[in-house]
């Protein structure tokens, strides 16, 4: 998967053709600012500058109490409705996903096992306080309800609430 770009992030967060909107969002939109810090960290990591990558990852944490791993792959148009307390490991997140506050996306953390991270497909919505762990897949247009613990895959268009899937 090819990661998105800062240019596309600015366009997705702004009104079409509005330079004022783009400037406003660059200065005052924390969702866009978090994405820009992630994109720079990811770029520095891919170019072989791990110290710079770590510095931009640290800035995410200091500014927003969020951490998007420099090893994550995040597509275009991904937005954070309230970017506070979001932790994303080396997951793959496709275009148009919306993530609310206090969401954790990571590996299961079992000792001695290979770390596997979630794959989240286009236009999924992940609501506040949800935890997604392990090598699971969240399908296109799927909805993960608030405070859900997801450790198994969710089909396209399905809703996962609490610990159960509702199709």
Give the residue with greater pLDDT, 71 vs 13.
71
Among 11-25, 27-41, 147-161, the range scoring the smallest mean pLDDT is 11-25
Task: Return the pLDDT at 17.
Answer: 65
Task: Return the pLDDT at 1.
Answer: 57
Task: Return the pLDDT at 60.
Answer: 97
Percent of the chain with pLDDT over 70: 95
Q: Are 70 and 53 in contact (CB under 8 A)?
A: yes
Give the residue with greater pLDDT, 19 vs 36.
36
CA distance 68 to 21: 25
DSSP structure string for 66-135: -EE-TT-EE-TT-EESS-SS-EE-S-EE-TT-EE-TT-EEE----TTS-----EE-TT-EE-TT-EEESS
Q: For residue 126, which of 167, 65, 82 has the smallest C-alpha distance?
A: 82
Predicted structure pTM score: 0.90
- The structural domains of the chain, with segments of one domain joined by +, span 6-166
- For residue 130, give every residue at least 6 positions away whose Cβ sits within 8 Å of its Cβ, in sequence order, or none: 100, 103, 104, 144, 145, 146, 147, 148, 149, 150
Task: Return the pLDDT at 4.
Answer: 74
Q: For residue 88, which of 9, 101, 76, 165 has the smallest C-alpha distance?
A: 101
18, pLDDT greater than 80: no
CA distance 165 to 167: 6
Task: Return the pLDDT at 20.
Answer: 75
- Going from the C-alpha of 123 to that of each of 62, 94, 114, 126, the distances in angstroms are 28, 8, 28, 10
158, pLDDT greater than 60: yes
User: Is the alpha carbon torsion for 73, 129, 139, 9 positive or negative?
Assistant: negative
> For helices 6-13 and 30-46, what crossing angle results, to 10°?
170
Give the residue with greater pLDDT, 152 vs 14.
152
Task: Assign domain 6-166 to its CATH superfamily.
Answer: Hexapeptide repeat proteins (2.160.10.10)
Task: Return the pLDDT at 9.
Answer: 84
The mean of the pLDDT values for the chain is 92
pLDDT in tens, 99-154: 999 999 999 877 788 899 999 999 999 999 999 999 999 999 999 999 999 999 99
């Amino acid at each position: 998967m090819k990661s998105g770009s800062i240019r596309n992030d600015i366009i997705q967060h702004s009104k079409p053709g509005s330079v004022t909107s783009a400037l406003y969002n660059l200065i005052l939109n924390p969702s866009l600012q978090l994405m820009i810090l992630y994109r720079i960290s990811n770029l520095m990591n891919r170019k072989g500058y791990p110290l710079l990558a770590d510095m931009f990852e640290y800035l995410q944490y200091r500014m927003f109490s969020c951490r998007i791993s420099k090893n994550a792959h995040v597509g275009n148009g991904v937005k954070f409705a309230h970017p506070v307390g979001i932790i994303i490991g080396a997951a793959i997140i496709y275009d148009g996903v919306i993530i609310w506050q206090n969401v954790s996306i990571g590996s299961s953390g079992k000792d001695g096992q290979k770390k596997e991270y979630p794959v989240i497909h286009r236009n999924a919505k992940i609501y506040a306080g949800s935890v997604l762990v392990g090598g699971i897949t969240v399908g296109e247009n799927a909805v993960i309800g608030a405070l859900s613990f997801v450790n198994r895959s969710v089909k396209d268009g399905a809703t996962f609430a609490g610990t159960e899937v509702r199709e």
